[in-house]
């Protein structure tokens, strides 16, 4: 057991005190893990758009003060009662959703949407006792999606922790705990393009480029990138994108443009923007008879998807996916192995790196739309 096991740890964390205000590096107290929890030493974390979205808190109620962060890698420091599959020293990826192993979803081969541990953006406390494990001078600091990785130590439910190959470089594979796996899995696990097929990717941010990487790995011969920002097109070539369409360059719906380019439509499409019009275009651009469209982006809660029902009757399929259909504990270790076996190229997603003290710089880069993933070094 580590010398700190069972004790409160004092460490640095980047606290979001209020919406849209720069994070403040504070000394926080991190309580020991309770039943079915583990305390992790976070070594590397990265910034995902979801962190920025809930930090800005423009579209939803956010809990403050809280510690954001959910894309990360670290080492188990200590374990709570009942934890049997993890031990101090294990190399792990904490994940914003979980796998309890006991619910109907976890027992289903088709679902990764664990009833107990699926993402909950409103909950700022641990499931076990409905209290946070973070505090400053006795005042509670709230959690974010069960991970709160913008802290040198954090407490996570054991079902939200994937044990990975100890040889994997944590400063690289940390990005696999959210966005990259979401896009990659949407293509490989849900769209499942055949070798030689055509795939359209809507939105060429990190998730969309990961979806394109999935199409490249699957052997797609045409990967059409769709984005309103032409500056993304050159970079996207490195991820297997072969052609580009900017909807602003055309005076007709982009689905018609793609249908003309592909003799009736693409075999598969993956939508990664969350814009409902892009979702409709992604569905309507697939070929009748066999086309499959997969929705990844999260829309506004009031958005309505409208399309003529004949599109379905003409044998087009529409699917949704959550976290690329990966079960966090069961499946993420194999995604790490794809990187270790040099099948999956993770480095090209990492465009910036900053020390923990400069975490606000990562937010500035994302708000400017610069780069894909910024790694934050905790030490």
Which residue is catalytic, options 4, 49, 235, 317? 49
The question of whether 321 is a catalytic residue gets the answer no
Verify whether residue 374 is a known catalytic residue.
no
Prior bond to 65 cis, omega within 30? yes
Among residues 37, 45, 66, 71, the one annotated as catalytic is 71
Contacts of 260 (CB under 8 A, 6+ apart): none
Judge whether 272 counts as a catalytic residue.
Answer: no
Q: Which of 11, 37, 50, 285 is catalytic?
A: 50
- In the residue annotation, 373 being an active-site residue is answered as yes
Question: Is 178 labeled as catalytic in the residue annotation?
Answer: yes
Residue tagged active-site, from 4, 26, 56, 103? 103
Is 11 an active-site residue? no
Q: Is residue 353 within 8 Å of 372, Cβ to Cβ?
A: no
Contact (Cβ atoms closer than 8 angstroms) between residue 37 and residue 157: yes
Q: Is 3 helix (H, G, I), strand (E, B) or coil?
A: coil
Whether residue 118 lies in the annotated active site: yes
Question: Is 352 an active-site residue?
Answer: no
Residue 29 and residue 8 in contact, taking contact as beta carbons nearer than 8 Å: yes
CA–CA distance, 348 with 365 (Å, rounded to integer): 17
Q: What is the DSSP string of 177-189?
A: GTHHHHHHHIIII
- Residue of 11, 37, 45, 48 with catalytic role: 48
**174 is an active site residue:** no
The two three-digit tokens of residue 77, written as one number? 């420091």
Give catalytic status of residue 351 as yes or no.
no
Going by C-alpha positions, the residue among 72, 75, 38, 77 that lies closest to residue 166 is 75
- Tokens encoding 183: 């896009």
The active-site residue, picked from 174, 178, 285, 374, is 178
Which candidate in 106, 174, 272, 285 is catalytic?
106
Active-site residue among 66, 118, 287, 329? 118
160 is catalytic: no
Q: Which of 37, 39, 100, 133 is catalytic?
A: 100
Asked about 287 being catalytic, the answer comes back as no
Give the residue numbers marked as catalytic. Answer: 48-50, 70-71, 100, 103, 106, 114, 118, 178, 373
């Amino acid at each position: 057991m580590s010398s700190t096991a069972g004790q409160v740890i004092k460490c640095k964390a980047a606290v979001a005190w209020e919406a849209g205000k720069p994070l403040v590096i504070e000394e926080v107290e991190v309580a020991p893990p309770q039943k079915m929890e583990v305390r992790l030493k976070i070594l590397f974390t990265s910034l995902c758009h979801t962190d920025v979205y809930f930090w800005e808190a423009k579209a939803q109620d956010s809990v403050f003060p809280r510690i954001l962060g959910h894309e990360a890698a670290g080492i188990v420091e200590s374990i709570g009662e009942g934890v049997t599959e993890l031990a101090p020293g294990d190399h792990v990826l904490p994940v914003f959703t979980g796998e309890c192993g006991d619910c109907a979803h976890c027992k289903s081969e088709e679902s990764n949407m664990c009833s107990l541990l699926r993402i909950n953006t409103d909950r700022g406390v641990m499931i076990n006792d409905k209290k946070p494990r973070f505090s400053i001078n006795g005042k509670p600091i709230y959690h974010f999606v069960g991970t709160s990785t913008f802290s040198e130590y954090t407490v996570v439910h054991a079902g939200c922790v994937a044990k990975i190959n100890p040889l994997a470089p944590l400063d690289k594979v940390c990005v696999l705990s959210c966005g990259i796996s979401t896009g990659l899995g949407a293509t490989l696990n849900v769209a499942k393009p055949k070798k030689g097929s055509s795939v359209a990717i809507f939105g060429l941010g990190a998730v969309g480029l990961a979806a394109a990487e999935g199409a490249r790995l699957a052997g797609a011969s045409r990967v059409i990138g769709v984005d309103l920002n032409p500056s993304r097109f050159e970079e996207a070539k490195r991820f297997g994108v072969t052609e580009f369409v900017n909807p602003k360059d055309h005076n007709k719906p982009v689905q018609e443009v793609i249908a003309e380019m592909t003799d009736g439509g693409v075999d598969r499409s993956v939508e990664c923007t969350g814009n409902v019009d892009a979702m409709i275009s992604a569905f309507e651009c697939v070929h009748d008879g066999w086309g499959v469209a997969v929705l990844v982006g999260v829309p506004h809660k009031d958005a309505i998807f409208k399309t003529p029902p004949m599109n379905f009757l003409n044998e087009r399929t529409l699917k949704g996916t959550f976290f690329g259909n990966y079960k966090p504990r069961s499946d993420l270790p194999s995604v790490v192995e794809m990187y270790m076996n040099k099948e999956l190229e993770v480095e090209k997603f990492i465009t910036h790196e900053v020390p923990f003290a400069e975490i606000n710089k990562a937010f500035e880069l994302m708000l400017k739309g610069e780069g894909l993933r910024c790694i934050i070094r905790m030490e």
